[in-house]
Amino acid sequence: LYQKVPNLPDHTGVEMHYDGSDFTWQLMLMDVNEYEGGGTYMRCMRETIKLHQGQVLVHPGELYHKGVDITSGVRSLIVGFMDGFDPKIPDDSESSDNEGEYERNVRMY
């Protein structure tokens, strides 16, 4: 996901949100050494997931998550959304669960 808008700062992350799809997937296009920061913070897990190039993250679209800010370099990925299946996985996490967890709990797969 990349956004470049003239006369505005570069897009570096995505705020906490849910997608409203049955499933969301992300395909990492970049090598992890090409950027610093980044990853996908999953609020229900209280962890940031950083993928290696070519890996795919799939999760229920109703789970709250955010794109952690990139501090240098470029992080490029393809994001897709799928509907037609209702997994019935509740996300009972709260916004107060975010407090810095995305920077402390980083898991490299």
Q: What pLDDT score was predicted for residue 84?
A: 76
Q: Which residues pair with 66 in a beta bridge?
A: 41
End-to-end CA distance of the chain: 20
Per-residue confidence of the chain (109 residues) as pLDDT tens digits? 455 556 656 666 788 999 989 899 999 999 989 988 999 999 999 999 999 999 999 999 999 999 998 888 888 889 999 987 666 777 777 777 666 666 676 766 6
CA dihedral 20, 25, 26, 27 (to 10 degrees): -160
- The model carries a pTM of 0.69
Query: CA 99, 79, 87: angle at the middle one, nearest 5?
Result: 75
Q: What pLDDT score was predicted for residue 76?
A: 87
Q: What pLDDT score was predicted for residue 31?
A: 93
Q: In what order do the strands lie in the sheet with 106-108?
A: 14-17, 65-67, 40-42, 47-50, 106-108
Nearest to 74 by CA among 11, 26, 6: 11
Q: What pLDDT score was predicted for residue 54?
A: 96
